[in-house]
Amino acid sequence: MRQTWRWFGPRDLVSIDDMLQAGVEGVVSALHHLPTGAAWSPEEIARRQAEIGRRADGRPSGLAWEVVESLPVSEDIKKQKGEWRTHLANYRRSLKNLAEAGLEVVCYNFMPVLDWTRTDLAFRVAHGGTCMRFDLADFAAFDLHVLARRGAAEDFSEALREEAAARFAAMSAEKRERLTGNIAFGLPGAAESLSLDDLRAHLDEYGAIDAGTLRAHFVAFLEEVVPTAEEVGIRLCCHPDDPPFPLLGLPRVMSTEADYAAIMAAVDSPANGITLCSGSLGARPDNDLPGMMQRLGDRVHFLHLRNVTRESGDIRGSFHEAEHLGGDTDMVALIAAVVREERRRAAAGRADAVIPMRPDHGQDILDDLKRRAQPGYPAIGRLKGLAELRGIMTAMTHSELGLPR
C-alpha cells in the first residue's frame, strides 16, 4: 500500500512539514475553496500541486498530490434539478484537467445533503483524548426537536423518541447550538456550510426522491462521467455513506456490499471503482470488511483505514471513532486481504498494483488537544494510526504466511 495523508490546503493546521515527519509517501487533497459544481481549472490544480511541493521554508517537499478527495458531486446532479447538466459538463472538464496534471485517482461520494454526520466532534475517551461520535439519541433529539422535520417521528421507536425528548429537555441552549453545528459540520474545509433553513430546503427537494430514484440518478451520473474517466486514465472511486444507514428521511445507496456490487455492475468499467472506508462501512455490524476486500478488491482504488466501536448490535446505532487497531473491524484481516489483492494485481502486470491508503479519523491525543485541527484529522492521532498500520503492513509483507518478502 502507498501511505498517503489528507491535507486540506494552506489553512490546514497540520502542515506539509508535519506530513514529512510522519513519513508519508503522497498527499490526498482537493480544492475545497471552490464551490461545488464549478470546473477545476488547470491554474487552480497547479497551485495546489505547488503548495504540496513546498516546505514552510520554501525547499522542495518531495511530496506530490496523488489522490483527489473529493471532487464533489453537486446536489443538483443528485436530484437532477437546476444546473445539473452544467455541473456534469464541469465535472467532465475537471476530470480532464486533473488527468492532464498527472492525477489518476479521484474519490467522491453520492450522499444526499451531508457528507458525513456526527453528533459530537470531541467525545472524551478513557485515556483522556477525544474522538468523533455519533449518538443516535442525540441525533433523534436534533431531528425531532431542533430541526422538527415532518415525519421524523416515524423513523424512531417509541423508546428512542422518549429518550430523545428527555435529552433535548436537559440540553442547555449552548448544547443545542453545538449539537446543531456538529451535525451540519459536514466535510471540513468545504466552501459551503448549511444553516437549518438550508437543510430544510434540501430535505423538501428530496421529498419525492426515494432510494430507487437516487440510485437511478447515480447510475446516470456514472454513465456521463465514466467514459471521460476511461478516456483520460482516471480511476473514480466512490466513498460509502457515513454513517451507512438512512438519516433525516434521506435515501442512502452506498452502505453495503450489495449496494457497491449493484453500482459496479450497472456501469461495468475499471474506471468505476470503490473507496473502501473501513470506518464508514464498519459502523454497520452486517458489513464484512475483509470479505468485501476479497470479493470486490479488483475495483478498490483507494483505502481509508480507520476503525469504529459500535455501541450496539443494531444496523442503525451509536458508534465512536476507535484507535486504528481497536474497534470492531479486524484490521489485521483487512490488511491481509489488501496485500493479497496487491499481489494478484502485480502478478497480472497491473499498473495500479499498489493501492493508495490513508490513516483516517485519528483520535486527538497529546498536543492535538491544543492544536485543534479539523475534527477527525489531528496530527499525532493520525501519526499513531499510520505507525500501527505500517507495522502490520511490514509484518504482512515479510511474513512466512505465503505473502511476498
Active-site hit among 107, 237, 238, 277: 277
**Following DSSP, what letter does each residue of 82-149 receive, concatenated?**
TTHHHHHHHHHHHHHHHHHTT--EEEEE--SS-S---SEEEEE-TTS-EEEEE-HHHHHHIIIIIS--
Q: Are strands 130-134 and 319-322 parallel, antiparallel or unpaired?
A: antiparallel
Active-site hit among 76, 260, 361, 368: 361
Active-site hit among 239, 301, 320, 324: 239
Active-site hit among 120, 360, 364, 368: 360
How many angstroms separate the CA atoms of 310 and 320, rounded?
7
Active site residue 108: no
What are the angstrom distances between the C-alpha of 389 and each of 18, 315, 393, 396? 18, 27, 6, 11
Active site residue 87: no
Question: The dihedral of CA 404, 328, 272, 8: what is its sign?
Answer: negative
Task: Return the closest-CA partner of residue 237 out of 332, 134, 352.
Answer: 352
Active-site hit among 32, 87, 301, 304: 304
Residues 6 or more apart from 272 whose CB is under 8 A from it? 222, 226, 229, 236, 263, 264, 299
Q: Looking at beta carbons, which pairs linking 395-400 to residues 24 or more positions away fall under 8 Å?
A: 396/335, 396/336, 396/339, 397/339
Active site residue 367: no
Question: The dihedral of CA 177, 182, 184, 188: what is its sign?
Answer: positive
Active site residue 202: no
Amino acid letter, 371: R
How many angstroms separate the CA atoms of 139 and 179, rounded?
8
Active site residue 237: no
Beta bridge partners of 123: 131
Task: Return the closest-CA partner of residue 358 out of 398, 401, 393.
Answer: 393
**Following DSSP, what letter does each residue of 208-259 receive, concatenated?**
T--HHHHHHHHHHHHHHHHHHHHHHT-EEEEEPPSSSS-BTTB---SSSHHH
Which are the catalytic amino acids? 239, 277, 304, 360-361, 377
